[in-house]
Chain A
């Protein structure tokens, strides 16, 4: 047993697990500093649930090591690991009331009655539900159940709390509220939360660090800002946030700049990351976020009135997706493809309307090519 790095609450090294011929988790390594909110973001079936179940001890990894507070837990059964889990459907025990649900774990470790009473009152206070101890589970609302499920784990002072998409079953409004609340709870308890989700907005809003997972591998680990603005791979660029994408052939490359002849019939200038090496003739895809595309309604028929933008297209607005401050237009270009671009709608008569001819432009540093 190595005790190398006690500065990490949770560290996984070269973790692998396969089911038959399916490689569910493939050589995953990461470590999480104490007291941080870490998310694992990936599409369903990417192996994130398997990864979490290995940390909790319900699955055994084929290779690799899991360390909690610097101690390997590979041979420790799930009920002896100080890792608690909030399950997808919460798994509150319906035949017990709130008090007994929270007391269950304390009784398992043999706490005294007085201690149990004290700790339950304490933890219910912290999740802001001081008066529900005697209630039955079915009398709680969705958000309250959520908080009780967290309280049931936190009362045991875990080193790491795992959360398996616990917001999935809630309706949209509650989900938005719970995102903020979870983040606040994590701050309050100052415990490491590992949150797995397929919902990028949950991951981006709550996390200190996010790992993007795809087909059993970690594509990138970084802060939400880093993932969003500097995706390391095409998968991350496409999965995190919205993007317009064009495929094409590289006609010129060098110095982190690429010129692409797009299949849609225009040339695009884009930058690229250090890790990607593209050369002339390669197939590549360029990603541009909707908020980076500038929409101009004043278009003269022939000119490309020069802005600092290096990329420009014209097209007609196909439809307007009104959503207050986050409104968006769908523009159909000459090739007939739809391009998404964010617009600010002021409610005046100058707002773009469906059918308008518009010019879309973006700078090459705002485009990313893989």
Chain B
């Protein structure tokens, strides 16, 4: 009796704890996606008359500007991921291995501070700095280095910089936690056994940090490919980011069916890139993102 009651209590606890998660997944992730999926397979043949078919996807494939934008988004996002890794790794290494215990916490907190300000405000901050009449242009003019104001906004470099700035944090956090778990003895053993700084980095530190590197790269790539605000505000009309195409389909053209199809194309495309990345680095999702 007592045993079965304890079992029931355990079951109840499990159900209660699982409910919010299950609700979140079904109501906010699963249902909308199923809805989108259904929507993307519909095509308008006459006002209020729909047929099911793959026309939206075929349209996408036939229009080079669409998939060019998608490829561009993908490759720029990969570049952003690489830059975030190159910038994030030394920062994470410093926080995890070189900084003292007390500064470590403070530095980590400093890294999180940008998150307290909304994306939008931060993007406008960049605009304030970079536009033709902005802080940098005026300062350069005042110092006499340039004669006419320069427009720093609305080019690829600015978009990449803005994206790296927004996502680098999500690279640093998993890297710090993996590097933190690495015993300093391991690095010293690397030197002791005859390795120089480069060997130790390449053969010991990077392989050890690989789960963190891959986890960070996945998150950063997804965030970058799916971002909307930064490319639009900093890149303007030239940015041709794929999310902008999706937005256009939904809002400007009021073609929800096509927009839904685009959404799915993006989802499949990014998933494919992540899968490929995992395969190439010899990692699995369970050894990286879901590492206990």
Contacts and interface: CB of A to CB of B under 8 A. Distances in A.
21 contacts: A56-B192, A58-B191, A77-B191, A78-B188, A78-B191, A79-B193, A79-B195, A84-B193, A88-B185, A91-B183, A91-B186, A91-B189, A93-B189, A93-B204, A94-B208, A96-B207, A104-B195, A104-B203, A105-B193, A108-B193, A108-B194
A86 to B, nearest CB: 9
B199 interface: yes
Given A89-B183, A93-B204, A95-B210, A58 B195 contact: no
A221 B194 CA distance: 31
Interface string A145-158: 00000001100100
A266 interface: no
A84 B195 CA distance: 12
Closest 6 CB pairs of A and B: A105-B193, A108-B194, A91-B189, A91-B185, A87-B185, A95-B207
A109 interface: yes
B282 to A, nearest CB: 11
Contact of B193 (A58, A89, A95, A153): A153
A84 B210 contact: no
Nearest to B192: A85
Interface in A168-194: none
B189 A109 contact: no
Given A84-B193, A88-B185, 20 more contacts: A56-B192, A58-B188, A77-B191, A78-B188, A78-B191, A78-B192, A79-B193, A79-B195, A80-B194, A85-B192, A87-B185, A89-B183, A93-B189, A93-B204, A94-B208, A95-B207, A105-B193, A105-B194, A108-B193, A108-B195
B196 interface: yes
Contacts of A105: 193-195
Q: Which of B186, B192, B203, B210 is most buried by chain A, counting CB atoms within 10 A of its CB? A: B192
Nearest to A96: B207
Interface in B182-219: 183, 185-186, 188-196, 199, 203-204, 207-208, 210
A156 B194 contact: yes
Given A58-B188, A87-B188, A104 B208 contact: no
A156 B189 CA distance: 13
Size class of the B contact interface (CB-based, 8 Å):
10 to 19
Contacts of B208: 93-95
A108 B199 contact: yes
Contacts of B207: 93, 95-96
A295 B210 CA distance: 65
Size class of the A contact interface (CB-based, 8 Å):
20 to 34
B193 A104 contact: yes
Nearest to A77: B191
Q: Interface of chain B, helix or strand or loop or mixed?
A: helix
Contact of B196 (A79, A87, A152): A79
A95 B190 CA distance: 13
A84 B210 CA distance: 27
Interface in B151-205: 183, 185-186, 188-196, 199, 203-204
Interface in A337-363: none
Contacts of A94: 208
B204 A79 contact: no
B278 to A, nearest CB: 16
A153 B190 CA distance: 11
Contacts of A104: 190, 193, 195, 203
Interface string B92-121: 000000000000000000000000000000
A109 B188 CA distance: 17
A84 B191 CA distance: 10
B12 to A, nearest CB: 37
A84 B185 contact: no
Q: Which of A80, A85, A94, A104 is most buried by chain B, counting CB atoms within 10 A of its CB? A: A104
B192 A79 contact: yes
Contacts of A84: 192-193
Nearest to B199: A108
Nearest to A110: B194
Contacts of A88: 185
Contacts of A91: 183, 185-186, 188-189
Interface string A43-62: 00000000000001110000
Nearest to A152: B193
B191 A79 contact: yes
Interface in A61-94: 77-80, 83-85, 87-89, 91, 93-94
A94 B191 CA distance: 16
A156 B185 contact: no
Contacts of B195: 79, 104-105, 108
Nearest to A109: B194
B189 A85 contact: yes
